[in-house]
Structure 1
């Protein structure tokens, strides 16, 4: 059991508090329209497309790194799995969002990654995209739709997910190697997260 008080974080690590959220029935939803000139589409991504959108949506601003740490074969296996569905929002031929639904667990769907590039934040696109996630998740025979967010993600993320019907069910502390020190992301990524050099 973790005792109360402060606990040192080793140099070279990133530490976050992760909140796990879920919904066990489809909620009532507020309408959300796509901004003018923006299209929603499903993607069958290759590695280059996926790593690019992952980095632009979450890597640089919010220090997303989980999928960037995977070997090509491991990431390809996820992207090719029929239980994984990936969607984006496109404007003027540029993809600006990532929504990843993972149905690989029987009876459940995980919103594995969800985010917008900065160009779409504040346009209403997030409401539209989360509505699509909820609708698509609950068209399958599931009893649980769940996700994780953490303290280095957008400060609006936790409130947004609760507002659309997800409920917090547990928290955990995650400690990981700092991807900036490994060269997975540039040192300018996640400027709100201190870098503790060894």
Structure 2
């Protein structure tokens, strides 16, 4: 098996005023919080969004591992629906130092290129900034951060920069090359 060089960029916003929202796309797009932690639904979103861009770190997780992450205070999943169909999601993870990580963000391939991504990222970042309002006793958000890498979609970095995120770290590592799994075997060849 061969190795591939992967660049990972970490970006942040340090004030709510850093957020530069994208306009909402035309049509019936709704973004709804999945308030009941559901490992099945979260795994569906993860595999469907990340299958063609080699998201593999959570594929081998057990049901209990998914449950543990989703049940953490300040863990939220916001799902974009285009005419009732899941189109993508933002997963937030609150951290003890007042930071909120956008742990995962992306669109299902069939919904890319429809101006949904900028709006969904804007919405997710805004929910990261107001996360403390939904968790009594939690201090306000001081920083929202995210990482993206050279395996992600071709417009990912540009979307983050256009939403007001600033680069604070870059790392290059060698990783074992993996076949693109897709949400099911052979899906990437459709």
Inter-partner Cα distance in structure 2 for 1:42 and 1:131: 14
Deviation string, structure 1 residues 44-89 (Cα, Å, up to 9, x no partner) = 3422211111111111x21111222323222210012122000111
Inter-partner Cα distance in structure 2 for 1:173 and 1:190: 26
Size of the aligned set, in residue pairs, is 179
Q: Tell me if structure 2 keeps the 8 A contact 1:110–1:145.
A: yes
Inter-partner Cα distance in structure 2 for 1:98 and 1:14: 27
Which consecutive unaligned segments of at least 5 residues does structure 1 have? 1-10, 192-198
Q: Which residue of 2 aligns with 1:131?
A: 122
Inter-partner Cα distance in structure 1 for 2:169 and 2:6: 14
Inter-partner Cα distance in structure 2 for 1:76 and 1:174: 30
Cα RMSD of the aligned pairs, angstroms, is 2.6
TM-score by length of 1: 0.78
2:112 equivalent to 1:113? no
The 3-state SS of whatever aligns with 1:68 is: coil
Larger Rg: 1
Which consecutive unaligned segments of at least 5 residues does structure 2 have? 133-139
Give the Å deviation of 1:111. Answer: 0.5
Inter-partner Cα distance in structure 1 for 2:174 and 2:96: 25
Inter-partner Cα distance in structure 2 for 1:184 and 1:120: 15
TM-score by length of 2: 0.81
Residues 128 and 81 of structure 1: CA distance in aligned 2, closer, same or farther (over 3 Å): same
